[in-house]
Amino acid sequence: MPQKFTDPRLVSLNDDDGFVDSGMRRALCEALEAGEIARATYSVSAHIWVQAVLTDRALLLVKGAVRAKVTRVPLPLEITRAPDGSRKGVRVRTPLGQKTLWGSKLDDEARLLLGASRSLSGTTDPARAASDRRPRPSQNQPSSIQAEAVKEPTPDSEIAAPPEHIAPAREVRQTRRQTRQAAGPKPRQPRRRRVRKQWVGFAPSSTIWDLADNCVKCGRPLTDPRSRQARVGTKCIRIYGSQQRKIPNPRHAAWIDKKTKAEAAYIAERVGADAEYARAKTAYHEARAEWTRVRSGL
């Protein structure tokens, strides 16, 4: 498979998703400064033609396929909502409005993004929370310390912090669109697997004429088909009359056997299909309940 990026500043992104479009790749290359190193690629909200790249000094929003434009958001980023439980996306304030970044393979847990952010007040320890109350002195501080503070809020700090500093991530209410996105597609109702009975053909007649090779009265060999069916020769038939009789058809017995087996196989398969359907239905109801819960933002 050909590499998406050959520029040494961008090769690390070959391991991440996104940038399948050459126009977007070119725009990204051109926007990159000398010595700027890319770290991860993110999907942006639900837009197909917008992607974000985190570098060592900025977040680059690449928008559009034809004549793609790049918006540079210098670090530190202003994160308005950190990932929380099932909500994996990170909400970031950009000149294009608030955007949810998600879906990076290289930065699966959004540690890099959070590391590139200015501290989230309230999730830090009391001392840091106090310093955050001063008008943005933390902008020039090393971001790695802030990242740790964001990732590991201690229970103590939650209690010790003043009320207005508790969990700002929760205070930012999710929009309807975000909750819908988090919930994903609606679970599909399972269908019962259709089971068909094997077609064994029409029933052959249950009896056939008993054809004799010899006359049953005198033992003379019989060749005429009518005589064979009557089971007597032309002389004996005048004396004794026709001796014709029917016997059970072996083909009919074989057919019955085949039909019985097909019936049994059909029932077994239907029992299996019913059990499978019951399982799928239970799983569906659970998935549906969860989907409804996430979608309603609970």
Residues in contact with Zn ion by the rule CB under 5 A: 215, 217-218, 233, 236
- State the nearest-atom distance from the C-beta of 223 to Zn ion, in Å: 13
CA distance 53 to 77: 13
Nearer to Zn ion, 111 or 220 (CB): 220
- State the nearest-atom distance from the C-beta of 247 to Zn ion, in Å: 20
Residue 201 φ/ψ region, left for φ over 0, alpha for ψ in the -120 to 50 degree band, beta for the rest = left
Nearer to Zn ion, 38 or 236 (CB): 236
Residue 176, C-beta contacts closer than 8 angstroms, at least 6 positions apart: none
CA distance 46 to 128: 35
Nearer to Zn ion, 137 or 221 (CB): 221
Nearer to Zn ion, 151 or 220 (CB): 220
Nearer to Zn ion, 96 or 239 (CB): 239
- State the nearest-atom distance from the C-beta of 218 to Zn ion, in Å: 3
**Could you give the angle at the alpha carbon of 61 between the alpha carbons of 60 and 66, nearest 5°?**
120
Tokens 């985190």: give the residue.
54
Nearer to Zn ion, 215 or 294 (CB): 215
DSSP 8-class letter at 13:
G
- State the nearest-atom distance from the C-beta of 210 to Zn ion, in Å: 16
Distance between terminal CA atoms of the chain?
43
Nearer to Zn ion, 44 or 215 (CB): 215
- State the nearest-atom distance from the C-beta of 211 to Zn ion, in Å: 15
Helix residue ranges, H only, the chain: 22-31, 111-115, 126-133, 143-151, 155-160, 168-171, 176-183, 225-230, 234-240, 250-295
8 preceded by cis ω (within 30°)?
Answer: no
User: Is 83 within 8 Å of 123 (Cβ atoms)?
Assistant: no
Tokens of 232: 């007597």
- State the nearest-atom distance from the C-beta of 209 to Zn ion, in Å: 18
> Around Cβ 41, how many Cβ atoms within 10 Å?
28
- State the nearest-atom distance from the C-beta of 226 to Zn ion, in Å: 14
**Among 200, 205, 237, 199, which residue's Cα sits nearest to residue 218?**
237
Nearer to Zn ion, 61 or 236 (CB): 236
- State the nearest-atom distance from the C-beta of 219 to Zn ion, in Å: 7
